[in-house]
Amino acid sequence: MLKGKSYALKWMFRMSILIIALFLFQNCTVYRGSSVDINNAIQEETKAVVVTKDGEKLKFKRLLETEENFIGVTKKRQTIKYLEKNGFDFEKHGQLRNYIIDSLEINEIYPKNKPVSTIVNIGISVLSALTVLAVAGGIIFFSSWGGLD
């Protein structure tokens, strides 16, 4: 019976490590609840959601400013479709596209909330690991339990 427990503990440990790794590679992004202007979003140098006047939510990896233009860097299919449909010019840089968004009618900009995003990602990983450990512990306990004889 001890050998079975040892195997179950090893299995539980390996599965916990696997699930923790999977959740650490997941990237959950939390955006701020209040809108900022484009200059603040550029200074933050982080992901941002831009809400247009017509209510479309566009996701950018970051917003940049050159001497004469505002640039939105993205690879999100929905954002690319909207910008191309509306005739925005872009330069391709690998998988990323840099769009000149000067003429985009921006209603709101929500930058990524870095501290909250980090806490959420770590919290999800820890809760997942604890869940795996609890389930594996229950399996070990009930498999070794002889009943109410």
CA torsion angle 77 82 86 92 (round to 10): -20
CATH domain 38-111 topology = SH3 type barrels. (2.30.30)
Cα 67 to Cα 47, 64, 76, distances in angstroms: 21, 10, 25
pLDDT in tens for each of the 149 residues of the chain?
445 566 767 777 777 777 767 766 667 889 999 999 999 999 999 999 999 999 999 999 999 999 889 999 999 999 999 999 999 989 999 999 999 998 999 999 999 999 998 888 788 778 877 877 787 777 777 776 655 55
Distance of CA 132 to the CA centre of its chain: 22
